[in-house]
Copies of this chain bind each other. A is one copy, B any other.
Amino acid sequence: MQINVALLGLGNIGSGVFRVLQRQQEALLERENVVVQIKRVLVRDVNKPRSVQVERSLLTDRVEDILEDPTIDIVAEFMGGVEPARTYLVQALNRGMTVVTANKAVVACCWEELDEAARKSGAGLYYEASVAGGIPVIGTFNRSLQANKILEVMGIVNGTTNAILTNMSERGWSYEAALADAQAKGYAEPDPSMDVGGQDAVYKLSILASLAFGQRIRIEDIHCEGITTITPEDIAFGKSLGLTLKLLAIGRVEEGRLQVRVHPTFIPDGHPIASVRRAYNAVFLHGDAIGHAMLYGRGAGDLPTASAIVSDIVMAAKNAGKHEHPAFLLGREQDALPLEKNWLTACYVHLLVNDTPGALASIAGVMGKYGVSLATVNQISRNTPVPLVLVTHPARELSIQAAMAEIQELEAVDRVVNVIRVEKEG
């Protein structure tokens, strides 16, 4: 079976798709009975020199050359960003072309619109590469966990921040130094705010949690905090308590309500996700039948992402005429769990306090007033102001926030350096 594909974009990922298809051509024919033919490639500048050998005649800077070509079966998109991807993909789907995309933003933000266009024309919509690069998390949720009610997903889905946190943890670097290193090595963008601010993880959690829990989670539903205020001291203090700091994307069902949140999180060193280092990604999950499981691998990069894209192309080719669409996008919202913002969480609290008698008593008093009890208290040194690290027992998010607002105003307290949520053993 021959499948004609057009690529939107020929940067790193597009070139990776070319290379993977060249290498695997024979195996795809023998094992899958599929021949993938690249028919057209949309680029900005058809004359720019390319790292892959592409016939000049395949290149075009006019999207119409693709959208109006009736021989094209699949449009594979990796331009990134909502526009113009959204416009192009909706047009392609309207014309019955199946879409394979690595673009988390367009799926997270315009999923209903894309899905509706796909359903109407009978085209397929595939997006394995949009979350966690090469790791087949979408396929696992869609095709291997049907027998499970998912209770939790917990992901390291942004490699840039994980590489930064790994260097802060293992080398004691400051956030600024680790970020500069990531930028120098090309892991981090010149403007790194989407990564370090957590928004990139929010896009991915929106897709992942929607599939895991079978209800549409929009990006604005997700609580988001980035890693920009984390200090090497926080990481070191956590380490002395047996905790590893990660930027986690968490979706969790508790007491019949759904929490969706992205924030820096301390997890016990023994948790499987704690050992995920450098730019690797991982998705830890809890299903009521499978129990705890984890998928681990490269969350970005040309070839890992191309691995997911080519897998989607092969899957789409085989599903021709009977593509599936998630039931939850039809908006059966009466079945949806309500969202919970006032979740239960333990917290690590890093304070600088003045060395006055009764300082701890006044802090503990405010905590107690809001029903937050302390699990451990550590005075880190005898410097003034004195660094004090508290770890609370699980308490309501809003109670902790209220307590912290009041503690900040205490005379004994010089400054609240950081408040970081703490996860229990997995």
Binding site for B on A (CB under 8 A): 16, 20-21, 23-24, 27-28, 30-32, 128, 134-136, 139-140, 143-149, 214, 270, 272, 275-277, 287-298, 301, 303-304, 306-311, 314-315, 326-327, 332, 335
Instruction: Report chain B residues within 8 Å CB of A301.
Output: 291
User: Which of B32, B289, B296, B304 is the one whose CB lies under 8 Å from A289?
Assistant: B304
Do A145 and B327 have beta carbons less than 8 Å apart? no
Given A24-B149, A144-B139, check contact A297 B293 (CB 8 Å).
yes
Instruction: Report chain B residues within 8 Å CB of A304.
Output: 289-291
Do B31 and A146 have beta carbons less than 8 Å apart? yes
Given A27-B214, A136-B144, check contact A297 B307 (CB 8 Å).
no
Considering the chains assembled together, what is the distance between the CA atoms of A296 and B273 in angstroms? 11
Instruction: Report chain B residues within 8 Å CB of A314.
Output: 146-147
Considering the chains assembled together, what is the distance between the CA atoms of A35 and B147 in angstroms? 12
Nearest B residue to A24 by beta-carbon distance? Answer: B147
Do B275 and A24 have beta carbons less than 8 Å apart? no
User: Which of B23, B28, B308 is the one whose CB lies under 8 Å from A288?
Assistant: B23
Instruction: Report chain B residues within 8 Å CB of A144.
Output: 128, 136, 139-140, 308, 311
Considering the chains assembled together, what is the distance between the CA atoms of A313 and B396 in angstroms? 42
10 closest cross-chain pairs (CB), A and B: A293-B297, A136-B144, A147-B310, A289-B307, A134-B290, A294-B296, A290-B307, A289-B303, A291-B298, A275-B275
Shortest beta-carbon distance from A143 to chain B in Å: 6
* Extra 16 A-B pairs, beta carbons < 8 Å, given A136-B140, A275-B275, A290-B303: A20-B147, A24-B147, A24-B289, A27-B214, A28-B146, A31-B146, A31-B327, A134-B290, A139-B144, A146-B310, A270-B277, A289-B307, A291-B301, A291-B303, A293-B296, A294-B297
Instruction: Report chain B residues within 8 Å CB of A21.
Output: 147
Instruction: Report chain B residues within 8 Å CB of A30.
Output: 327, 332, 335
Do A289 and B145 have beta carbons less than 8 Å apart? no
Instruction: Report chain B residues within 8 Å CB of A272.
Output: 275-276, 296
Shortest beta-carbon distance from A158 to chain B in Å: 17
Considering the chains assembled together, what is the distance between the CA atoms of A156 and B332 in angstroms? 41
Instruction: Report chain B residues within 8 Å CB of A128.
Output: 144
Instruction: Report chain B residues within 8 Å CB of A24.
Output: 146-149, 289
Considering the chains assembled together, what is the distance between the CA atoms of A276 and B24 in angstroms? 32
Considering the chains assembled together, what is the distance between the CA atoms of A262 and B132 in angstroms? 31
Shortest beta-carbon distance from A188 to chain B in Å: 20
Can you identify 18 A-B contacts, CB atoms within 8 angstroms? A16-B289, A21-B147, A23-B289, A31-B146, A134-B291, A136-B143, A136-B144, A143-B143, A144-B311, A147-B306, A147-B307, A147-B311, A288-B303, A289-B304, A289-B307, A290-B304, A292-B298, A295-B295
Considering the chains assembled together, what is the distance between the CA atoms of A339 and B35 in angstroms? 30
Considering the chains assembled together, what is the distance between the CA atoms of A149 and B303 in angstroms? 12
Instruction: Report chain B residues within 8 Å CB of A294.
Output: 294-297
Instruction: Report chain B residues within 8 Å CB of A335.
Output: 30
Nearest B residue to A288 by beta-carbon distance? Answer: B23
Considering the chains assembled together, what is the distance between the CA atoms of A327 and B24 in angstroms? 15
